[in-house]
Amino acid sequence: MTMSGWRGCRERGEPLRRAASPRPPLVVGGRPPGREGPAPPAPAASADAAAVARIHHGKVDCVDCQLEGSDLTNTCVKGHDLHGADFDGANATLMCMSYANFSGASFRGTNLSGANLTESSLKRASIVSTNLAGANLTSADLAGARERHPDEGQVPQDELERRLTEARTGVASARAEMARLGDVEARLADAHTHLSLVAGTVEELERATAAAAGRSRRPGVTLISTTCARPEARSCRR
C-alpha cells in the first residue's frame, strides 16, 4: 500500500488491510521443497491409540504394535500373535498373556507384575528393567531374551573375570553361612533334648523326695525299739 492510499484510508475511517502473503507449502516428509539442509528429527514415538483399543476390545492379534506407556491392566491376549510389539513402560499388571507369541517384543521398564505368561514365547525379547514380580513364567520360552540394554557395550574380559570371581566368592560365603547356621540349629536341638531329659530327672527326684518325707511322718513309726528303751532290758546293753 502506498503512502497516499494509507492516508486515504485514515481519512475515510476504513480499516487498514495488508496484502495477503503466500502461504508456505505443506511439508510432508520433513523438508519443504527447494530448502537445503537435513530434515528435522522425527517426533518421539508414542502408543498407537487404535492398537491399544484393539487390545482392550479383545481384537488382540497385534504384530509390531506400538503400546509403550499404555495401561493394559487386566487385559487378555491369550494365544495371540504380538511378536515385535513395543510394550516399553506399559502397565501390564495382571495381564493374561499365556500361550501368546511375544518373540522380539520389547518390555523395557514394563510392569508385568502378576501377569500370566504360561507357555508364551519370549524369544529374543528385551526384558530390561522389567517388573516380573509374581508373574507366572511356567514353561515360557525365554531363549535369547535380553536382560541387558542392547545399547550397552561389550564388557571387557578382565571385568567379566572380576565379576565372576566376586560371584563365586559370594556363593562360597553363602554356603559357609548356611553350614554354620545348620550346625547351630543341630546344636540347639541337642540342647533342647538334653534340657528335657534333665527336667524329667529333676521331676522324678522331687517326687521321690516328697514320697520319702511322707513315709517318715506317718504315726507309729519310730527308730528306737521300745524294749531297749526300758532300763531292765539287759539284752540291749553291751
Query: pLDDT tens digits for 126-185?
Result: 988 899 999 999 999 988 787 655 544 556 777 777 877 888 888 888 888 888 887 777
The conformation of residue 126, written as its DSSP 8-state character, comes to B
All three cell numbers of 112, joined, read: 508385568
All three cell numbers of 111, joined, read: 510392569
Q: pLDDT digits over 191-206, tens only?
A: 888 888 888 888 888 8
- Which residues lie closer than 8 Å to 227 by C-beta, 6 or more apart? 233, 236
Whether the pTM exceeds 0.85: the reply is no
Distance CA 131, CA 144 (A): 18
| Burial of 62 (C-beta count, 10 Å sphere; 0-12/13-18/19+) | buried
All three cell numbers of 30, joined, read: 520433513
The closest of 135, 72, 131, 141 to 100, measured between CA atoms, is 141
**pLDDT-derived band at 208, boundaries 50, 70, 90:** confident
Distance CA 65, CA 100 (A): 14
The H or E element spanning position 210 is helix 157-216
Q: How many CA atoms lie within 13 A of 78 on its CB side?
A: 10
Query: Which residue has better confidence, 30 or 154?
Result: 154
Distance CA 49, CA 66 (A): 9
pLDDT of residue 26: 41
Distance CA 2, CA 5 (A): 5
Distance CA 148, CA 205 (A): 70
pLDDT of residue 211: 80
All three cell numbers of 40, joined, read: 528435522
